[in-house]
Structure 1
């Protein structure tokens, strides 16, 4: 038999119990709307980095990094071919100009020098013998000239005597003998003059021969001098005072003409080679003051050259060092640098926020209501330095802004800090 069940009706409010918590939450939000203001995002204070706006002289600097480079650097090259017998220096060694670095050997070059030496000696001996023979011939010719002069003078004396006798009417001298005397005088005069000309030509020949022989000797001596210079070049020496940076040859290695032997740099004459971002290079001009930081000391310099080309987003800037170099300064030392662009008097500035380019207007979060909130404020930025930026408008002295990363809440005008 069926038993009729009685239906028990629940109160309507119990069916919609979940509405009560929702209403309570809404009421609480409405009640504390003044506390939360219009904040739509919450940030923990420990995650924020803030900075206050200051006023004063703002130094515009550009930071760069680079290396110290030697202003005077020279590769020492091999002038002759040879095999390395000795390597007398290592990288880091202090050397003086003319100091022996590497000794080469080349037996063939030594034999060639000896051959030229013997050729020079033989030519000098042959030239000496030829000159002695020609000088002897010249001496004989000069003796003949003297004898011819004597014969001419004797014939002329006889002719003069006969002429005087004939003039006096003395018949002891026949006309035939007188004519013969005249003919003899003419013959002796011509012979004497001929011998003089012959002697003159012999002297000219002797001088020309001496010149030609001396030219040949000079040629051989030049060859010998060149060979000697090549032999001397087997001893490779430092061409300047400095520190050895690199030695390219090893013991027993064969060196060819023009091969690099050693790299020598003058450590007392250095300059800084800096890499400046291309976006800041328009601020750099020649002569600007630069402070070089070697990690242990600072060196003052000035911009001496700006590379016209951009490589990998960087521009090379050379800095002439005007201070005395510290003891830790050496070639290839990594350094940091601050290039002083300008000083702006009595302006507002603040530590540079993240993602705040110079010469732009951007939204920065300024702390309000005793630092409980931060409200987005449009700020016009000016020049920037290494870690500071100029404020042209939008903030006042003493305002505190968030300088850490705010990209997570950029769409919110106001945030609450707890």
Structure 2
């Protein structure tokens, strides 16, 4: 008789799935903690610099142009139409060199009218002088007549007095004395009239002459306006620009020409407002004209920034290089200071001065990211305060695309 076998329950069967899950979890954690493989870069594509120790020249750089020290803008004093242009840009001019001719019929008419008013005022002065002098002579003649009558009356009065009672009556004596007294008063009044006429003559002539003087000034002003339509250079130099056209109507103040002195130039450059904080007047500078370099010094620093830059004027010293001319594009280098013994490197791309930063130091076929502290900077160099030593090689190229790695391979 067969006896059925009773199967025992396997209490360890659940261990296998648990063990498999644990293995998968451990592998996942291990793989997740693995670092990404370092990227490989070609050394020829990198800009590598060597840390050095020694003197370092601090400079700031700015781009700009050469401009004349003195610029003469020739403007029109009156309105007019340009009938002729004799000057051409680039020609050498003297003060009396004619540049252009303007016309304005109304202005010529006003000048003629002003001259006519002067002539009319002068004619009025002659008539006034003649009339007043005639009146003065008339008053003097009346005075002379009265003086003669007074003398005669006085003589008669004395004669009447001596012959009173015998030849002349008492009434005749009193009448003659009264007549002499009356003539004395009339002579005094006549003398005052002569003085008044003489003073009037002087005053009216002075007033008329003053009016003539004013009219002459007006006429002279009108004449200068007419003469100004014959435009001349007004100074020595080179005619740089004529911004008007033949037949154009211009109003007072319109720029007709620009005269410069090309042998007396200065440089105007624009420096970043961040670097301009160390600039002071008198600092040594060099200006590169592409055809040569000329020294100079800082002569003026703008008080306000514009579009992130500060305008700096450099006074040039010595002879200008060949080809130097107004508006020529130049580069200016301004010397800030000379450091005698510092650790420095060529300026890496994208770093900030006077503060911490990170650079890739090259060692044994790799470049490792390290922390450095940078200091004062120049145009192409920067001081290293911490993190690097003399002789270290660092990557100076822009490495922002590798910000997520701390090491790269170099081959």
Q: TM-score, normalised by structure 1?
A: 0.80
Q: What secondary structure is seen at the aligned counterpart in 2 of 1:215?
A: helix
Matches for 1:270-309 after TM superposition, within 5 Å? 270-309=265-304
Q: 1:208 to 1:405 in 2, by over 3 A?
A: closer
Q: What secondary structure is seen at the aligned counterpart in 2 of 1:362?
A: strand
User: Whole-Å Cα distance in 1 between the matches of residues 280 and 129 of structure 2?
Assistant: 74
State the shift of 1:334 in Å.
0.6
Q: What secondary structure is seen at the aligned counterpart in 1 of 2:350?
A: coil
Q: What secondary structure is seen at the aligned counterpart in 2 of 1:249?
A: coil
Matches for 1:372-383 after TM superposition, within 5 Å? 372-383=365-376
State yes or no: 1:390 paired with 2:388.
no
Partner of 1:58: 56
Matches for 1:92-241 after TM superposition, within 5 Å? 92-164=90-162, 171-241=166-236
User: Whole-Å Cα distance in 2 between the matches of residues 126 and 48 of structure 1?
Assistant: 96
State the shift of 1:373 in Å.
4.2
State the shift of 1:268 in Å.
4.1
Deviations 1:35-83 (A, max 9, x none): xxxx945443433433322211111111211112233324322111222
User: Whole-Å Cα distance in 2 between the matches of residues 308 and 190 of structure 1?
Assistant: 83
User: Whole-Å Cα distance in 2 between the matches of residues 142 and 268 of structure 1?
Assistant: 74
User: Whole-Å Cα distance in 2 between the matches of residues 307 and 126 of structure 1?
Assistant: 61
User: Whole-Å Cα distance in 1 between the matches of residues 400 and 280 of structure 2?
Assistant: 35
User: Whole-Å Cα distance in 1 between the matches of residues 124 and 369 of structure 2?
Assistant: 106
Q: 1:186 to 1:313 in 2, by over 3 A?
A: closer
State yes or no: 1:403 paired with 2:396.
yes
State the shift of 1:335 in Å.
0.5
User: Whole-Å Cα distance in 2 between the matches of residues 156 and 356 of structure 1?
Assistant: 121
Deviations 1:163-222 (A, max 9, x none): 4566xxx83454333223312322322232232122222223322332332233234323
Given candidates 62, 86, 89, the residue that maps to 2:87 is: 89
User: Whole-Å Cα distance in 2 between the matches of residues 78 and 288 of structure 1?
Assistant: 40
User: Whole-Å Cα distance in 2 between the matches of residues 219 and 264 of structure 1?
Assistant: 35
Deviations 1:302-332 (A, max 9, x none): 3334334444333323333344444533221
Aligned length: 375
State yes or no: 1:318 paired with 2:316.
no
Q: What secondary structure is seen at the aligned counterpart in 2 of 1:153?
A: helix
User: Whole-Å Cα distance in 2 between the matches of residues 320 and 414 of structure 1?
Assistant: 49
User: Whole-Å Cα distance in 2 between the matches of residues 119 and 301 of structure 1?
Assistant: 59
Q: What secondary structure is seen at the aligned counterpart in 2 of 1:267?
A: coil
Given candidates 325, 328, 336, the residue that maps to 2:323 is: 328
Q: What secondary structure is seen at the aligned counterpart in 1 of 2:274?
A: helix
Q: What secondary structure is seen at the aligned counterpart in 2 of 1:236?
A: strand
Q: 1:178 to 1:333 in 2, by over 3 A?
A: same
CA contact (8 A) 2:372 2:388 kept: yes
State the shift of 1:156 in Å.
1.7
CA contact (8 A) 2:51 2:393 kept: yes
User: Whole-Å Cα distance in 1 between the matches of residues 81 and 318 of structure 2?
Assistant: 44
User: Whole-Å Cα distance in 2 between the matches of residues 386 and 222 of structure 1?
Assistant: 62
CA contact (8 A) 2:291 2:322 kept: no
State the shift of 1:142 in Å.
0.8
CA contact (8 A) 2:345 2:384 kept: yes
User: Whole-Å Cα distance in 1 between the matches of residues 338 and 243 of structure 2?
Assistant: 49
Q: TM-score, normalised by structure 2?
A: 0.81
Q: What secondary structure is seen at the aligned counterpart in 2 of 1:248?
A: coil
CA contact (8 A) 2:62 2:271 kept: yes
State the shift of 1:232 in Å.
1.2
State the shift of 1:343 in Å.
1.7
**What stretches of structure 2 of length at least 5 have no aligned partner?**
1-36
